[in-house]
Each structure stands twice: as C-alpha cells, then as structure tokens.
Amino acid sequence: MKRRAFLRVTALAPAAAAFAKLPVAWAGPEWRAFEITTHVEILNPSGVTRAWVPLPLTENTDYHKALGHTWQGNAVSARLARDPRYGAALVAAEWPAGTSRPTLEVVTRIATRDRQVDVSRPASTAAEDPAVLRRFLEPSDLIPTDGIVEATAREIINAAKTDLEKARALYEWIVDNTFRDPKVKGCGLGDIKAMLETGNLGGKCADLNALFVGFARAAGIPARDVYGIRVADSAEFKSLGGSGDITKAQHCRAEFYLVGHGWVPVDPADVRKVVLEEEPGGLPLDDPQVQKARAKLFGAWEMNWMAYNYAHDVKLPGSMGGLLPFLMYPQAETGDSRRDSLDPDQFRYAIRSREIAF
C-alpha cells in the first residue's frame, strides 16, 4: 500500500469511539460479547459518493449494551450521526468525485444476554417516558394505524380487555394467518396496508412483525419494530441463527409496552420462519418445535442478535434521496443515484461477526 493511501485510512480512526471494557457488574456466564465488522465498497462510482452504515443501539438495556466502535477507509470525511427522531446511530462517510474505489470498514462491539419478561406475574418496572410512548403510538409511512389496519386490529382483538390480552390475540393471529415467503427480497418492506388490502399475508420479518406493531398501535398499545442482525448460531433453533458471514442475517423483531413490565419482546415472524425452515419441507403449526418457538417468542428473545434501532421514515444525513422505511442495511449513493442495498453488482458489502472474550 502506498504511504499516502495508508495515511488516509488511519486518519479516520481518532474520530471513532474507543472500545470499552465490559464493566465488572456485567460479568457473568449470562453475558456474551461480539465483534461485528462491516466492510463497504461502492462499485462504479460517479460523482460525489456517500455511504451510511448503521451502528448498534446506543441506549443500554438490561439485555444489550454497546461497547464502542471504530472505522477506517479512504473517505475524506466520516462521522458519527444520528436520526433526530429516533436516535438511530450510524457512520456517515463521503468521497469526492474521482475516487475510484470508495471503501469503508466499521467495527463495533456489543454485549448481550438472553431476554425474558414474565408477563404472567405482577411486576413493577419503572414507567417509560410518556413522550416515548406517544412516539410509538404514531403511524409511519408504511405502518398506518387507521383504515383497514385499525379495522382488522379491532376484529382480531374482539372481546380482549387488557393490553396483555390484546397483544396476545394479535400475536396469535399473525402466527396463524401469515406465512414466511422466501421469494420476498431481503427482509421485506413492512407495507402492512398493502398486505391487508391485497390479502397477501406472506412476507419476511419486516413485514410480519410490522403487522404486529401496526395492529398494536391501532389498538392503543405502544409498540415498535427493533431492527438488527443475527450474530451467532441459535442454541435452540437452527433456522434462527447466523454466525461468521452474517451479510444476509438482518432480522427485525418487535416489542410492545405493558404497564408494570415495560417493553415486552415478541417475534411472530420467527415463529413462521421455524415453520418454513427448521426442517426440510417445513413443519405444521402443531409440531413440537413450532409450539416451543410460539410459546417462547411471546415474551422472550434469544440474544444471539444485535439491535440497531427503532427508526422509521429515516432521512439519511446528507442524502439526495428520499426517506428509508427503516435502517437495517448499509446504504450508499453516488452522483444523484441511491444504490440498491440488496444488489451486489452495484453495492458490495460484507458483514462478519465473531464472539470475543470480555
């Protein structure tokens, strides 16, 4: 490598956050730490080129903690940025016209532990900020809360009285009435109005879990998608893991808010993934493995997964393009054109994970 090029690579590192050591208070067999490396290369650039790489959830929780991040590449600028509404964190990089091979590498570390909320027992978790709850009752471009979404939610809920009963009814309906469609590109778009109007209830995680979120909000229950990526193999379901090369392991989960318990994890989309992929040829809903997943994924997540953010209708900083429905993949623009983040012929990226010691 030429000395000048090497200096351009290393010059970005001081702007990145240093890796933190896991505090002693977090130590224990339940916590695991992971390092995730995202390498981006924009092919055939024309004009000014920009790229954006999502970073993990910056808000520490009792199941997920960010341990820092670094980045390097040949960009003239690279900085930490945030979505102003949801606080989604990302690295935003820019290259001048004439750069023949724009590249960026982002390394991030997290700690996770399995998550379970026992909704069958009374609890006294501290109340969430009312402003946050109001935000996660509002519609987004692809997740409306009126019209057919509200009407369908009311029909599903029927005689349910409490928020827990309503959320359970919505979850069970999605498991019973939707299906995972392997032909859907990426994780889907989450256009729930179109799904309900056409009657095509097939999709992937960003579609099926968006149904839960939209229905819950329409029913007056704060709910949110949580966009992320699988970082390790599952201890229970071979179809619900990803390790090593996780370039295509993006996965969206969901939560709803329950007074006393806080945010409750759910994942009806992964139940349908178990149905389709756990065994060759698929499994029926009454199969023991499906029943196990169905019971577990209302109130629990296996944390072989890194959370990115809760953001919808994302305006990328400095972007010439329109809003993104969500931020779960690296993004790039060159000239006046946004590249398809799922098209490797135009936008090449690779994401790898490895478990690391504390």
63-113 residue pLDDT tens: 999 999 999 999 999 999 999 999 999 999 999 999 999 999 999 999 999
Query: What pLDDT is stored for residue 115 in this prediction?
Result: 97
Q: Taking CA 258 as the corner, what is the angle to CA 89 and CA 199, rounded to the nearest 5 degrees? A: 80
Residues 6+ apart with CB under 8 A from 123: 117, 260, 261, 262
| pLDDT of amino acid 95 | 97
In contact, 256 and 209? CB cutoff 8 Å: no
Structural domains of the chain sorted by starting position, each given as residue range(s) with its CATH number in brackets: 3-112+311-356 (2.60.40.2250), 115-302 (3.10.620.30)
Please report, to the nearest 10 degrees, the dihedral formed by the alpha carbons of residues 289, 296, 329, 247 taken in order. Answer: -40
Helix, strand and coil content of the chain, in percent to the nearest 5, comes to 25, 30, 45
Task: Give the integer Cα–Cα distance in Å for 161 and 192.
Answer: 24
Looking at residue 74, the DSSP 8-state letter turns out to be S
Q: What is the pLDDT of residue 38?
A: 98
CB 223 within 8 A of CB 257: yes
The torsion angle over the Cα atoms of residues 175, 314, 334 and 93, rounded to 10 degrees, is -110
Tell me: pLDDT of 156 over 80.
Answer: yes
262 torsion bin: left (phi>0), alpha (psi -120 to 50), beta (else): left
pTM: 0.93
Six-digit token string for 148: 């057919």
The CA–CA distances, whole Å, from 339 to 120, 154, 190, 221, 287 equal 47, 39, 20, 36, 42
The residue among 28, 98, 90, 14 whose CA lies nearest residue 62 is 28
Taking residues 176-196, report their average pLDDT: 97
Model confidence pLDDT, tens digit, residues 114-154: 999 999 998 888 899 999 999 999 999 999 999 999 999 99
